Amino acid sequence: MLGKVGEFNLTEYLTRAEQVILPSQIQNTSPAPVEDGPLYVGADLGTAYLVLVVLDKNLQPVAGEYQFAQVVKDGLVVDYFGAVDRLTAMKQRVEARIGRTLTEAASSFPPGVPLAEVRATANVVEAAGLHCVGLVDEPTAANNLLGIQNGAIVDVGGGTTGIALVEDGKVIFSADEATGGTHFSLVIAGARDISFEEAEEMKKNMAMQSMLFPVVRPVMEKVGSIINHQLDGRKVTGISLVGGAACFPGMAEVVQDYTGISTHSPEKPLFVTPIGIAMHHAQVAAEMESLNGR
């Protein structure tokens, strides 16, 4: 597994990923053809962001897109046609950039989402023209890249905080509770008397984040409270924060202060789970190849 290779540098990998996973509003007219070989695709339908990631045969990121979109709420698809339209357009733009047709993808779901809603996620992927080869829970997807052997993974998304306890490299417990980046925007909107959309943009403005930190700190502490509640006294040596909300400066420090557990967040935490989903696609493909070779 890529994340567990000793010489693997996660920071460098995620930095390279940021260079090819572009915001949807950036139209890259310079094609970047990808050589022949299998491509592994992850489609992450989050509460705040849709992310599409493409990895090559060596599990290196070669293309992708992300965009703000409120088509999913707490893991449930609430705007099916909007999700399909956006994902289809993202797929087509990425295909134009790499000169390849994408035919398959894996996707994910937060822990605890009902089976019927998990199927809805797969239906969105299929309707966008991608055969859904598998669905993986978000913490397990994140650990495909992080390669944590023992500790906790906390995925702070747009609407929910997902927690997974990992022992010997396997997720042995997971849970999901409401609270995420959307709540950051809501408290900013209330404090500044502005619209949610304006608050969302202000939250992402790095020049404003230090001023907004006292406003959003209670939400960060709520995340810490959720972690303590879900861990329920279990001994954890460290916490890894991923997800879009983990991008806000000071998040890891607040969670560490609240929980008393060593906490860190990798560079570009928004991309960890989507890349892990694409790696799940690679795992499924390897398993199928092994079965066909018998």
Q: Are 237 and 151 in contact (CB under 8 A)?
A: yes
Query: What burial letters (b/e) apply to 40-79, b meaning 16+ CB within 10 Å?
Result: bbbbbbbbbbbbbbbbbeebebbbbbbbbbbbbebbbbee
Claim to verify: residue 51 and residue 92 sit in the same structural domain: yes
> pLDDT, tens digit, for every residue of 204-234?
899 999 999 999 999 999 999 999 999 888 8
Q: Which segment of 18-27, 81-90, 98-107, 182-191 scores lowest on mean pLDDT?
A: 18-27
Claim to verify: residue 31 and residue 116 sit in the same structural domain: yes
Cα separation, 100 vs 93, whole angstroms: 11
- Over residues 53-79, mean pLDDT: 87
Task: State which amino acid sits at residue 168.
Answer: D
**Residues recorded for the chain:** 294
* 47 pLDDT more than 60: yes
- Tell me what pLDDT residue 211 has: 95
Residue at 2 is within a domain: no
Where a domain ends, among 137, 170, 205? Answer: 137
Instruction: Read off the CATH number of the domain in which 217 is found.
Output: 3.30.420.40
* 8 pLDDT more than 70: no
Structural domain count of the chain = 2
Claim to verify: residue 28 and residue 102 sit in the same structural domain: yes
Cα separation, 49 vs 66, whole angstroms: 7
Q: Are 252 and 241 in contact (CB under 8 A)?
A: yes
Claim to verify: residue 90 and residue 169 sit in the same structural domain: no
* 41 pLDDT more than 60: yes
Ramachandran area for residue 72 (φ above 0: left; ψ -120 to 50: alpha; else beta): beta
> pLDDT, tens digit, for every residue of 114-169?
777 788 899 999 999 999 999 998 888 999 999 999 999 999 988 888 899 999 98
- Name the nearest CA neighbour of 279 among 163, 127, 107: 107
Claim to verify: residue 147 and residue 249 sit in the same structural domain: yes
- Over residues 42-60, mean pLDDT: 91
* 87 pLDDT more than 90: yes
Residue at 155 is within a domain: yes
Cα separation, 139 vs 116, whole angstroms: 20
For 244, the domain range is 143-269
Claim to verify: residue 70 and residue 133 sit in the same structural domain: yes
Claim to verify: residue 19 and residue 37 sit in the same structural domain: yes
Residue 261 — very low, low, confident or very high, per pLDDT cuts 50/70/90?
A: very high
Cα separation, 68 vs 180, whole angstroms: 14
- Tell me what pLDDT residue 126 has: 97
Where a domain ends, among 88, 106, 137? Answer: 137
Residue at 294 is within a domain: no
Q: How far is CA 199 from the centre of its chain?
A: 21
Claim to verify: residue 99 and residue 61 sit in the same structural domain: yes
pTM, entire model: 0.89
- Tell me what pLDDT residue 293 has: 67
Cα separation, 22 vs 112, whole angstroms: 30
Residue at 285 is within a domain: no
* 73 pLDDT more than 80: no
